Amino acid sequence: MNYIVFVTGAPYGTQNSVTAYLFVKSVFLLHHYVKKIFFYSSGVYNANSMIFPSLDEFNILHAWIRLKKKYSCKLCVCPSSSYRRGVLSNKSAIKYGCLQGNFSSHFQWMSSSEMAFNIHHGDRIVQF
């Protein structure tokens, strides 16, 4: 079974992101496949490379990266949602007068129209 997962909750302050992570991890452990994980709305904060929780707290950014490396899933972020929330690539940040961006290199940009096209190739869509 192929899943597409939408994450719309911020990494901290809501359970959406952590619940999505645990769901995706469970899907892989059950030998199913997650085609794409799409971060939209406040979910784009998950791609912010400048998130530094306390050492005794769960680091959701590092968890997403480990999941990507272990299972080769794609972490996709909506660019328009990101720009509205200040999550920028280095190129965009320089364009807007900042020294550097805060977009994690482990994520990739994917527009909502591209995501809509990909939905047709998934068996299930789950939103958190």
For residue 85, what are its two tokens? 């929330």
Q: Is 98 annotated in the active site?
A: no
Give the active site residue among 73, 76, 78, 98: 78
**Which region holds residue 55: left if phi is over 0, alpha if psi is between -120 and 50, else beta?**
alpha
What does DSSP assign to residue 11? S
CA quadruple 58, 126, 37, 17: dihedral, nearest 10: -20
- Active site (catalytic) residues: 78
